[in-house]
Structure 1
Amino acid sequence: MNRTSKFQTILGKFLTYFILLSCFAILGLYAVQRFGAQYAEQKIQEQLEHSGLTEFVHYQQVYFNPFTLTPSLEGVKVGAEDSPLLIFARISFNSYLVKHPNLDIDFWIQESPIDSLSRKTGTLMRSAGMNTLLGKGSFSSTIQDEGIVSELKLDIKDAGKLTLMSNIRLLDQHFTLSDLRSDILASFALGQPEALPIIYGEAIELRSLDIKYEESGLIHRLFSLSSSNQKNRINLEDALLLASQTVGFAPANSPEAKQIATSLQTFIETPKQLTLSLLPSTPTSVKELTLLANEGSLYKNSRITIQSHQ
């Protein structure tokens, strides 16, 4: 056999083996994807049933990525199926469910006209001057030094970017992190977020809370304030002073309320970025924070800072 014939024979075998290996690889990926999706959906259904969220979370299908071994929920509606609070195009888990209770997800809010969502969501959208909701974000939550460190990032088109970071500790061993997450989701799906402080008032200890908002249209629509219009400035300041008292930060006639109003007014006149930080001198329960708010001394006694960044 000459060299050319040998080369052709070797090349033919190589191509045959390559094709066979490729077929096996494709079949393997398909099997991993199929059985991974089935297993992930089973676990997700078990978690929803255990948490009592089956009637609040509806999804079209579970997709399983055979390369990262992570699942995604597609076509997710939260709340009533016919008038959901939110519709997600996809919710992707960046780590597999075996790492529970740690959580790391990315999500995409499906472009949703106002009439496709619930009345509560529609009311918020109308007050913000929005006819369509579209956005994306991420959420991570891990256990660190006996505390639960969480970060939520939310980017809503024509509204703004919100980042919320918290460090809390569960004091009551009867509650688990899964219970807390499930109750948060259920309370918002039912439109009753005020139930959380009642349920977890003595069970959650807050170590720190940081909120950052970056403007991209919302403030401009809500406030059409001219810096040269003195009457508008005075009316806005009075409203902000009263708002501080309403939410329990500080009495309307206090120096603390004046500080808050100045920071907020600066932000409204030149809206770019606003940050709020809450760092109690000692970890404080949600019940204690609620009592401080009822007394109107939350700003003074919880080391809250509000800053406008230009």
Structure 2
Amino acid sequence: MNTTSKFQTLLGKVLTYFILLSCFAILGLYVVQRYGAQYAEQKIQEQLERTGLSQFVHYQQVYFNPFTLTPSLEGVKIGEENSPILIFARISFNSYLIKHPNLDIDFWIQESPIDSLSRETRALMRSAGMDTLLGKGSFSSTIQDEGIVSELKLDIKDAGKLTLMSNIRLLDHEFTPSDLRSDILASFALGQPEALPIIYGDAIELRSLEIQYEESGLIHRLFPPSGSYQSNPVELEGALMFASQALGLAPANSPEAKQIATSVQTFLETPKQLTLSLLPSSPISVKELTLLASEGSLYKNNRITIQSH
């Protein structure tokens, strides 16, 4: 057999082995994807039922990525199935469920006309001058130094970007991070977020909280340059000072309320980014925060700062 024939024979064997290996690899990926999705869905269902969220979380299917070994929920509705609070095109877990109770997810809010959502969501959208909801975001929550460090990022088209970072500690060991997340989701799904301070008033200790808002359309709709508030800064300042009292930050006629109004007015003049930070001198319970809010002294006693960037 000459050299050319030997080379052709060798090349044929290599190609045959390559095709066979490719077929086995594709078959292996299919098996991993199929059975991984079944196992992930089983675990997700168990978790939803254990936390009592099965009636609030509805999804079309579970997708399992055979390369990263992580699941995703597709076509997710939160709240009532026929009138959901939010509709997600996909919620992807960046780490597998075995890392529970830590959580790391990305999500995409499906483009949703206002009439397809719940009454509460429709009311918020109307107040923001929106008739369609579309966005994306991420949420991570990890256990660090006996505390729960969380970060939520939300980017809503034609509205803005919101980042919320918190560091809390659960004082009552009967509650777990999963219980807290489940109760937060259930309370909003039922339209009763005010129940959370009642349930967790003595169980949560707040170490720090920071909220950042970056404008991309919402402020321009709510406070247009030609609007009455923008043309009458005194009226706007008064409204903001009363808003401080309504939110429990400071009495309407106090120096603290005036400081808040000045910071917010600076932001409204050139709306870019507004940051609210709460860093108490020592950790404070939710019950104590609620009491201070009812007294209108949150801003004075808890090292709250509001900055416009």
Query: How far apart, in 1, do the equivalents of 2:169 and 2:211 lie?
Result: 18
Residue 263 of structure 2 aligns to which amino acid in structure 1?
A: S
Note if 1:215 corresponds to 2:215.
yes
Over the matched positions of the two proteins, sequence identity in percent amounts to: 86
Distance 1:68 1:219, change over 3 A: same
Compute the displacement of 1:206 (Å): 0.2
1:282-297 counterparts in 2 under 5 A?
282-297=282-297
Compute the displacement of 1:272 (Å): 0.7
Answer yes or no: is the 8 Å Cα contact 1:161–1:216 preserved in 2.
yes
1:186-265 counterparts in 2 under 5 A?
186-225=186-225, 232-265=232-265
Hey, what does 2:22 align to over in structure 1?
22
Answer yes or no: is the 8 Å Cα contact 2:88–2:107 preserved in 1.
yes
Hey, what does 1:44 align to over in structure 2?
44
Hey, what does 1:72 align to over in structure 2?
72
Instruction: Give the count of matched residue pairs.
Output: 309
The alignment partner of 1:253 has SS state of: coil
Compute the displacement of 1:268 (Å): 1.2
Distance 1:281 1:176, change over 3 A: same
Query: How far apart, in 2, do the equivalents of 1:181 and 1:230 lie?
Result: 40
Compute the displacement of 1:234 (Å): 1.2
Answer yes or no: is the 8 Å Cα contact 2:155–2:161 preserved in 1.
yes
Distance 1:212 1:86, change over 3 A: same
Query: How far apart, in 2, do the equivalents of 1:109 and 1:231 lie?
Result: 36
Compute the displacement of 1:235 (Å): 1.1
**Deviation per residue, 1:264-292 (Å, 9 max, x gap):** 11111211100000000000000001111
Compute the displacement of 1:224 (Å): 2.2
Hey, what does 1:306 align to over in structure 2?
306
Answer yes or no: is the 8 Å Cα contact 1:225–1:233 preserved in 2.
no
The alignment partner of 1:71 has SS state of: strand
Distance 1:17 1:231, change over 3 A: closer
Query: How far apart, in 1, do the equivalents of 2:169 and 2:51 lie?
Result: 20
Residue 32 of structure 2 aligns to which amino acid in structure 1?
A: V
Query: How far apart, in 2, do the equivalents of 1:226 and 1:6 lie?
Result: 84
Hey, what does 2:132 align to over in structure 1?
132
The alignment partner of 1:122 has SS state of: helix
Hey, what does 1:103 align to over in structure 2?
103
Distance 1:243 1:229, change over 3 A: closer
**Deviation per residue, 1:172-193 (Å, 9 max, x gap):** 0000111000000000001110
Hey, what does 1:176 align to over in structure 2?
176
TM score, norm. by length of structure 2: 0.98
Residue 72 of structure 1 aligns to which amino acid in structure 2?
A: S
TM score, norm. by length of structure 1: 0.98
Answer yes or no: is the 8 Å Cα contact 2:256–2:300 preserved in 1.
yes
Unaligned runs of 5+ in 2: none
Answer yes or no: is the 8 Å Cα contact 1:104–1:141 preserved in 2.
yes
Query: How far apart, in 1, do the equivalents of 2:228 and 2:48 lie?
Result: 55
Residue 303 of structure 1 aligns to which amino acid in structure 2?
A: R
Answer yes or no: is the 8 Å Cα contact 2:152–2:165 preserved in 1.
yes
Hey, what does 2:152 align to over in structure 1?
152
Distance 1:230 1:283, change over 3 A: closer
Answer yes or no: is the 8 Å Cα contact 1:226–1:269 preserved in 2.
no
Residue 54 of structure 1 aligns to which amino acid in structure 2?
A: S
Query: How far apart, in 2, do the equivalents of 1:177 and 1:115 lie?
Result: 34
Query: How far apart, in 1, do the equivalents of 2:281 and 2:127 lie?
Result: 37
Distance 1:105 1:228, change over 3 A: closer
Hey, what does 2:163 align to over in structure 1?
163
Compute the displacement of 1:225 (Å): 4.2
**Deviation per residue, 1:97-143 (Å, 9 max, x gap):** 00000000000000000001011101110010000000000000000
Query: How far apart, in 1, do the equivalents of 2:40 and 2:230 lie?
Result: 60
The alignment partner of 2:232 has SS state of: helix
Answer yes or no: is the 8 Å Cα contact 1:247–1:293 preserved in 2.
yes
Hey, what does 1:268 align to over in structure 2?
268
Answer yes or no: is the 8 Å Cα contact 2:101–2:178 preserved in 1.
yes
Query: How far apart, in 1, do the equivalents of 2:180 and 2:273 lie?
Result: 30
Residue 181 of structure 1 aligns to which amino acid in structure 2?
A: R
Compute the displacement of 1:226 (Å): 5.1
